Structure 1
Amino acid sequence: MFKHSSPYLSLKKEVLSTLFEDVSQRSTIEACGVLLGTIDADGNWHVDRAHPLQNTADSPVYFEFAPEELLQFELLNPDQIIGVYHSHPTGYPRASDTDCENMQRVNQAQNIPWVWVIIKGPFNTPHHELTSASLIAYHHFANSGLKHITIHTG
């Protein structure tokens, strides 16, 4: 699937708005959801929209989707989920050990080609604005392990 060594993630402006709204409304827990779009022939992710899902852990340091909610959304939007996002409301600027384990499990053991986006907080400051600097993206590749993915917005 990945034909070059530096695949990228493109996010539409509307996706950034959805992410900002979600993290603003859930500023004290990890906001989370799915990313919908396409993966092109070169292995680049093109996200057209984001859809928030409930964080059943209700935690500032961990997120977990309700399996039935994820399954229902997947059944209503077949083959459109290309990634997931979650926030780090405390501002932790990289993937946690748990994040890394989940990325490896999903990308490699389950062979699901999702991209993973982390949104760095804090989100409780006045006039906080979500920019590309607030986002980190990852994918766990079979040959090279966990890698940062370049993000293009617009």
Structure 2
Amino acid sequence: MDKYSSLYLALKKETLSTLFEDISQRPNIEACGVLLGEIDADGNWHVDRTYPLQNTAASPVYFEFAPDELLQTELLYPDQIIGVYHSHPTGFPMASATDCENMQRVNQDQHIPWAWIIIKGPFDEASLHAMNGEVSPTSLIAYHHFENNGLNIIPIAIQTS
């Protein structure tokens, strides 16, 4: 087993509610934001909370942050941005080709060690009601693009405290 296969992303259970709140306010476009927390000495991502950002593309199949808003978030939370999240309101269950290109660019070309969470839709009224105020862990998929190992799915561990 290589070191990449043992890495994980830890997500606090309360964060599932904040993700739900964000996607329920933007069900028809890709809701997006940053993951705040820390990366431990082994390289695991520990997400304490999320911080929604505007999707300047306002698209159901693409997201883009405003650079000044991302910079402002970095200034508010120095060294705490450890990743990105976005939703797929169309229900696409994996990273798109654009997602994969962005993950490789950020993780490898820019050497930013972010994890990437995708929340799978759809987010119509019935689906949001069935979610009962919380994103299901089965609706989440996490990725990281490693230098020697390429794009990998990262297991998500939900923490209750």
Residues 93-148 of structure 1: CA deviation (Å, up to 9, x unaligned)? 00000000000000000000000000000111422312110000000000100000
Secondary structure (helix, strand or coil) at the match of 2:33 reads: strand
CA deviation vs aligned residue, 1:48-82 (integer Å, no higher than 9, x gap): 00000000000000000000000011011110000
Higher mean C-alpha displacement, 131-140 vs 117-126: 117-126
Amino acid at match of 1:137: A
Q: Which amino acid aligns with 1:29?
A: I
Q: 1:4, CA displacement in angstroms?
A: 5.1
RMSD of aligned alpha carbons = 1.2
Partner of residue 136, structure 1? 141
TM-score w.r.t. the length of structure 1 is: 0.96
Is 1:50 aligned with 2:50? yes
Q: Does 1:118 align with 2:118?
A: yes
Shift of 1:6: 2.1
- State the number of aligned residues: 153
Note the residue ranges of structure 2 that are not aligned, 5 or more in a row.
none
* More deviation, 19-28/122-131: 122-131
Change (3 A) 1:139 1:4: closer
The yes-or-no answer on 1:65 pairing with 2:60 is: no
Percent of paired sites with the same residue: 75
Distance in 2 separating the partners of 1:142 and 1:6: 16
Maintained 8 Å contact 1:18/1:50 = yes
Aligned pairs for 1:4-153 (under 5 A) are 5-126=5-126, 127-129=129-131, 130-153=135-158
| Whole-angstrom CA distance in 2 between matches of 1:90 and 1:111 | 30
